Chain A
Amino acid sequence: MEPNSRLSGKYAIAGLGMVIGLPEKELEKRKADLPGHPMLNHAIASPLVDLSAKDIEAEAARRAIEDAGLSNKDIDGAVHVHGGPRSGRGVVEHMDAFPRMLGLPVNFYYHCGRGGGWGTIGIITALSFLELGLAKYVAIAGSREDWTRSHRKEVRDQGIRGQINPATVAGMWGPTYGRTAAAHEHSMFAARHKHEYGTTETQFGAGAIQVRAWACKNPLARMYGRPATIEDYLQSPIYIDPYHLMDMAVTTDGAVAMVLTSMERARDCPKPPVAVLGIGYGDAQGGQWWEGAAHYTKLPVLKAKEAAFGQAGISIKDIDVAQLYDCFTAELIFQMEDYGWCAKGEGGAYVEAGHIGPGGDTPVNTSGGLLSAYHMADLTGISESVFQLRGEAGERQVPDARLTFVTGHGGEVFAPGMCSIHTTLVLGRP
């Protein structure tokens, strides 16, 4: 297929910066066991002490600028990304974060984001600055301090990663009926997929342990050094039916930043450029109860995929490695089906057959994903794509990885408990 977008390949990620929290003792041990390991350069001790999310965001941005071989004075556009105004922390608290802290001489600065698609939405914004000639080098950064927050009393009281929106506050659903968390709604998607397609506990577990196996190859991953077998999974307690703890994402303190510029300029930067080849967006607002059950066990992938893959001129068979939004294990299975690696209903069997883990023919979430590495929304997948496409992924490198895509998921939750958005970002070696 021919690419159908003028953006395709015209812009690139030229720099990447990361700061990811690990428990202090664990971090010391890893540094002693793996002296000089490049992934550990991105680590910081968690919970954060005397550091705010703003601080680590500015640090990630500084590192991204350095990684691109640039200095702060080169950065003439900036984008702060976040999960949206209801993502727990006020947006306002974050608005003047890194560009002011680093003294970036920006021609344009804005904040944006929605759900778990912040990285991709930030890239769209950065590309608009570049395309309009408002900037030559745009820094994007986003952060979260969910781990630290989960240790603070006022946050424990609210429940970490609680989902509050007008409908739940109104009491038509949500807390009135004893549910507030993402897991409360997402576990029911899994239950329903089991009911409709006969998906099994072992199949959900197979996703969790394969992503865990990738995490064991990434010393920056929270679950590095903690391999798990399907027996471990099945013997662990059920936390919220049908989910075990391993079916759910980790919480993370961290920040990820990148520098976007034209491909022409990116070629002059020290690291190999990562081309932006396609971007797509899907909205689940169609999937309401009056349209029947069908939308409940699939994500709004179709439009997002068609747009992004169409711009890039690719099909699913061309993908070397994928970074899917694995907030829970059912979302992995849904995306195997919705992106067309297998037919609807066969995602459980596909994952159980071992396709997605190390050695499989469809490597997915090679960082260890949101499930076992770090939950920086789609910035987890974007950072991992950069490592893979540059050939910097070390023990987890997919040989000759040239083409990848990253998905985002989340946003406002609407009845019946569904997430509203899906994003697809295709990245590749130029």
Chain B
Amino acid sequence: MAEASKEIPKPLPQITPITQPFWEAAASRKLVMQRCSDCRSWVWCPRPACVECGSEGLQWAPVSGRGTVFAFTVIREVVGRALRGFEKDIPYITAWIDLEEGPRICSNVVQCPVEKVVIGMAVEVVFEEAGQGIFLPKFKPIR
């Protein structure tokens, strides 16, 4: 039996009507966010109405994909079946990233040794294939 066939899957996002445009754009390696067509606020996480003015006039717009690390931690042990797929990645970085446009998004810092990651570090988006045609936005250091 090939080892590869036994690889433990990682949790995938649940794609809903509201989040579908985000994941469709990610699959074509584009990072998009909702923006209010009335007050111009960026809106994150995806939702039906603007958090600032209540307008339902939200439109998906591209963002730069550049940002900085707001906070991070190094996960050195996983507990529970939900994260068993991450065991092979230990130690890995989970982080909040401040995008240039303002939204603070959850992601992983990748393509960087864990001891090199610092708060404030400049990063840019990369897309990692997660299976079932889903691509997750992750962030790597900007050289």
* Residues in chain A within 8 A of chain B (CB atoms): 156-160, 162, 167, 169-181, 184, 187-189, 191-192, 195, 238-242, 288-290, 293, 296, 415-417
Contact = CB atoms under 8 A, between A and B. Distances in A.
Nearest to B15: A171
B101 to A, nearest CB: 11
Interface string B30-73: 00000000000110111000011000000000000000001111
B88 to A, nearest CB: 11
Contact of B96 (A172, A241, A416): A416
Contacts, number: 134
B80 A184 contact: no
Given A176-B11, A289-B44, A188 B96 contact: yes
B114 to A, nearest CB: 8
Contacts of B44: 289, 415
Interface string B110-143: 0000000001100000000010000010000000
B73 A240 contact: yes
Interface of B: 10-16, 19, 41-42, 44-46, 51-52, 70-83, 86, 89, 92, 94-96, 98, 102-108, 119-120, 130, 136
A241 B86 contact: no
A419 B46 CA distance: 20
A177 B14 contact: no
A290 B52 CA distance: 10
Contacts of A170: 13-14, 16, 19, 45
A290 B98 CA distance: 10
Contacts of A240: 73-77
Given A156-B80, A162-B80, A239-B77, A172 B45 contact: yes
A181 B73 CA distance: 12
Contact of B119 (A159, A167, A177, A195): A195
A180 B80 contact: yes
A178 B92 CA distance: 8
A192 B119 CA distance: 8
Given A171-B11, A416-B70, A159 B106 contact: no
Given A178-B78, A195-B119, A173 B102 contact: no
Contacts of A187: 73
A192 B71 CA distance: 6
B71 A296 contact: yes
Contacts of B130: 176
B81 A158 contact: yes
A167 B46 CA distance: 9
10 contacts: A173-B106, A178-B75, A178-B89, A181-B79, A184-B73, A189-B71, A191-B119, A239-B77, A416-B106, A417-B96
